[in-house]
Amino acid sequence: MEAMKQTAYDKRFDALYRYDGGDLGCLCGPGRTVFKLWSPEAQRVELSLYRDDVSGAYEVLPLSRGDRGVWQAAVEENLHGTYYDYAVWTNGVCRSTADPYATACGRNGARSMAVDLSRTDPEGWDRDRPPAAQPEQIIYELHVKDFSFDPDSGVPARYRGKFKAFSWRDESGRLPVCMEHLAGLGVTHVQLLPMFDFGSVDEGGSEEQFNWGYDPVNFNVPEGSYATDPSDGAARVRECKEMIQALHQNGLRVVMDVVYNHTYRADSWLERSAPGYYYRRNEDGSLSDGSACGNDIAAGRAMADNYIVHSVLYWAMEYHIDGFRFDLMGLLTVELMNRIRAELDAAFGPGEKLMYGEPWRAQESPMEPGSRPALKNALALLHPDVGVFCDLTRDAIKGDAFLERAPGFVNGGEGLEQDILRAVTGWREGWGDYTPRSCSQILNYVSAHDNFTLWDKLVMCLDVNGDGAGAADLDGLWADVLAQNKLAAFICFTCQGRLFFQAGEEFGRTKLGEGNSFRSPPRLNMLSWERARRFAGLTDYYRQLIRLRKSLPGLWDKSPAAAERITARTIHRSKVVSFQVEGGGPLGERLLVVYNASDQPFSLPLPPGRWTIRADGQNADQRRRVEQKDAAVPPCSGALLLREGD
């Protein structure tokens, strides 16, 4: 990939060529189609039009150069369904490129498609609204293909692994097994792993292909392998909208996992249209690789930031997306994240759209002068409604995510009591690199698509023979693993902050010990709906925890002062801690929470008052009066009690 002259990187270049118009790309409407491309150093640009995504061009048109490096062509016709690409001459070299601002494309994204977006709206789209906002947000991470690939999902074969699986109903109007499960779980948000057009799967290839999708090609187009016809640019748009509409109708808001830190290949549409501008480089001219994916988008440059901001707003407006999860947010900047927060708030209302991300990067990356990376140590600089995943909570509860047999608090780890009590307040006091302004910035979780599933991690720590067999369903380990799984969930759901968990965690999802399944076969990655039936008791426990959590304002309080509710944090002995929550109940009652990760029962003398057990290691939605003066907590379990009459 050729580099531009060094002068192209400085602020003078941005001052000359920054374009703030929101009309780059192809605007297709009644009687007219306008094409605009930002290519500031081009000497010539041509537009080729095609009838489909494989045949030759039927017309080639020149674009005229306008202000600030924007090239334009207009056709006095609605070209909906017409495919196109550009030829860009820069420094004597001609490069063919699709449109980096395209909103539709053909198979594998090589040709863009002009699309009249109003023609892609499903019936009732103009009335589509997300369910009413709840005071608590509980996020469920889900992969489109994982969700319905299993034949036991209840989805017809032609729609398994597709957007359509979410909107399909049988002749009687009944939901398939997978959607019935999701709609009845009680979560408020579904976070979908990358669903924009990515390059690691051949959209015309076998359904046995699989990838998580962190390989962006067309940032503003839905992924074609999830559509029924990847060659029809409108189909993927319509079916993606139908999925979001169906999730909204079933009481779920939708969060989009977005990857603005790198592209699938450095020779991308961005690079071909503006060579050298969109990527960071090291001092020796080589591409920086803070993403460990071969390149880093140059967040901090005016048009790179504009591209990302406009893309986020496009998905929020056109697709009714309710939130955004930013991959490797540490490669983006504090200034960019705060700008996105401000723009979403201005367009939709303060806090209406969720925003959170990974506060880390794979490696160092050269930042633009004056910009600051959005790492975990920058929480004090970020807007309080920009959240981050908290690996401290994750590792304290279940053990180091990268060391398969390193245990955490629930599965044999030593000396973690203080960390667990810090996690209770969303690390509000600060620890390590985390210095949150409020627990609203902390996402508590114990498993995500990365690393081992919770079930597999727990089994590996019990796998005394070290042969890896623990990731399978070994009857002799079930009782211990189930107890640890429940306690891990109980702790996570009783910490202040936001809540997140991986799809299938609620029924002991296993990937048979595979810790990096990003391109493993779909049958390893898919949600097993037969397993969901077998582990219905564990799912019920999660469902109860969700219901309980929503009823306890002392836990879902996201204000900067929320941590002040937490009192009497006590380490009683190894692997046993407790704390109280002032005004934590639905009517302002005091709560008492105990975690007993030891292998011995624990009895805690109760403070004066009438106490009711609301949750224990078996039932997280109960009202059982405590008649004695002590609260008995069995081994490897928790308890949440409420003092009546407060």
Tens digit of each residue's pLDDT (9 = 90 or more) over 274-293: 999 999 999 999 999 999 99
* pLDDT for the residue 627: 87
* pLDDT for the residue 3: 41
Same domain flag for 74 and 192? no
CATH code at 237? Answer: 3.20.20.80
Domain end point (choices 86, 120, 154): 120
Same domain flag for 499 and 571? no
| Alpha carbon distance 182, 173 (integer Å) | 16
For the cut 60, the answer to whether the pLDDT of residue 219 exceeds it is yes
Task: Indicate whether 129 belongs to any domain.
Answer: no
Average pLDDT (67-79) is 97
Same domain flag for 62 and 146? no
Same domain flag for 98 and 177? no
Q: For the purposes of burial, counting CB atoms within 10 Å of the CB of 84, is it exposed (0-12), middle (13-18) or buried (19 or more)?
A: buried
Same domain flag for 230 and 363? yes
- CA torsion sign for 485, 489, 492, 494 is negative
With pLDDT > 90 as the criterion, what percentage of the chain qualifies?
A: 94
- Tokens describing residue 30: 């009644």
Task: Indicate whether 1 belongs to any domain.
Answer: no
Verify whether residue 404 is a known catalytic residue. no
Same domain flag for 493 and 592? no
Beta strands in 259-351 (DSSP E): 323-326
Q: What one-character DSSP code corresponds to residue 205?
A: S
* pLDDT for the residue 1: 42
Cα 304-315-31 angle, rounded to 5 deg: 95
* pLDDT for the residue 478: 83
Domain end point (choices 87, 120, 153): 120
Catalytic residue among 53, 242, 327, 417: 327
Task: Indicate whether 439 belongs to any domain.
Answer: yes
Q: How far is CA 491 from the centre of its chain?
A: 22
Same domain flag for 407 and 273? yes
Average pLDDT (208-224) is 98
Give the count of domains, the chain: 3
Lowest mean pLDDT among 255-264, 318-327, 363-372, 468-477: 468-477
Same domain flag for 259 and 176? yes
Of 268, 243, 414, 257, which is closest to residue 320 (Cα–Cα)?
Answer: 243
* pLDDT for the residue 2: 43
Average pLDDT (91-99) is 96
Distances in Å between the Cα of 376 and the Cα atoms of 384, 386, 422 are 13, 11, 16
Domain end point (choices 555, 587, 606): 555
Task: Indicate whether 382 belongs to any domain.
Answer: yes
Task: Indicate whether 412 belongs to any domain.
Answer: yes
Q: What one-character DSSP code corresponds to residue 566?
A: E
Lowest mean pLDDT among 8-22, 127-141, 256-270: 8-22
| Alpha carbon distance 539, 174 (integer Å) | 21
Read off the pLDDT of residues 456-508 as tens digits, 9 standing for 90 and up.
999 999 865 554 444 445 566 789 999 999 999 999 999 999 999 999 999 99
For the cut 50, the answer to whether the pLDDT of residue 5 exceeds it is no
Residue 601: what are its φ and ψ, rounded to 5°? Answer: -65, 155
- The pTM assigned to this predicted structure is 0.96
Task: Indicate whether 427 belongs to any domain.
Answer: yes
b/e sequence 207-226, b meaning 16+ C-beta within 10 Å = eebbbbbbbbbbbbbbbbbb
Coil, helix or strand for 44? strand
Average pLDDT (572-596) is 97
DSSP-assigned states of every residue in 118-171? GGGPPTTGGG--PPPP-SS-EEEEE-HHHHH-SGGG---GGGTTSTHHHH---T
Q: Kind of pairing, strands 498-502 and 59-62?
A: unpaired
For the cut 60, the answer to whether the pLDDT of residue 519 exceeds it is yes
- Tokens describing residue 275: 């060579």
Average pLDDT (54-71) is 97
CATH code at 622? Answer: 2.60.40.1180
Same domain flag for 290 and 427? yes
Task: Indicate whether 128 belongs to any domain.
Answer: no
Average pLDDT (434-447) is 96
What is the pLDDT of the chain when averaged over all its residues?
A: 95
Could you tell me which residue, 628 or 216, shows the higher pLDDT? 216
Same domain flag for 351 and 466? yes
| Alpha carbon distance 394, 448 (integer Å) | 10
Read off the pLDDT of residues 118-167 as tens digits, 9 standing for 90 and up.
999 999 999 999 999 999 999 999 999 999 999 999 999 999 999 999 99
Catalytic residue among 305, 358, 404, 557: 358
Contact 12, 285 (CB under 8 A): no
| Alpha carbon distance 399, 393 (integer Å) | 9
| Alpha carbon distance 135, 558 (integer Å) | 9
Within 8 A by CB and 6+ apart from 339, the residues are 305, 309
With pLDDT > 70 as the criterion, what percentage of the chain qualifies?
A: 96
Average pLDDT (524-533) is 98
Read off the pLDDT of residues 590-620 as tens digits, 9 standing for 90 and up.
999 999 999 999 999 999 999 999 999 999 9
Q: Could you tell me what percentage of the chain is helix, strand and coil, using 3-state DSSP and rounding each to the nearest 5?
A: 30, 25, 45
Same domain flag for 46 and 171? no
Q: For the purposes of burial, counting CB atoms within 10 Å of the CB of 431, is it exposed (0-12), middle (13-18) or buried (19 or more)?
A: middle
Range of the domain at 626: 564-644
Same domain flag for 165 and 96? no
| Alpha carbon distance 76, 58 (integer Å) | 16
| Alpha carbon distance 84, 48 (integer Å) | 5
- Indicate the residue type of 195: M
Contact 33, 113 (CB under 8 A): no
CATH code at 14? Answer: 2.60.40.10
pLDDT band at 396 (very low <50, low <70, confident <90, very high): very high
Helix ranges (H only) for 391-474 are 391-398, 417-423, 454-462
pLDDT band at 98 (very low <50, low <70, confident <90, very high): very high
Distances in Å between the Cα of 159 and the Cα atoms of 153, 162, 226, 262 are 11, 5, 9, 30
Verify whether residue 358 is a known catalytic residue. yes
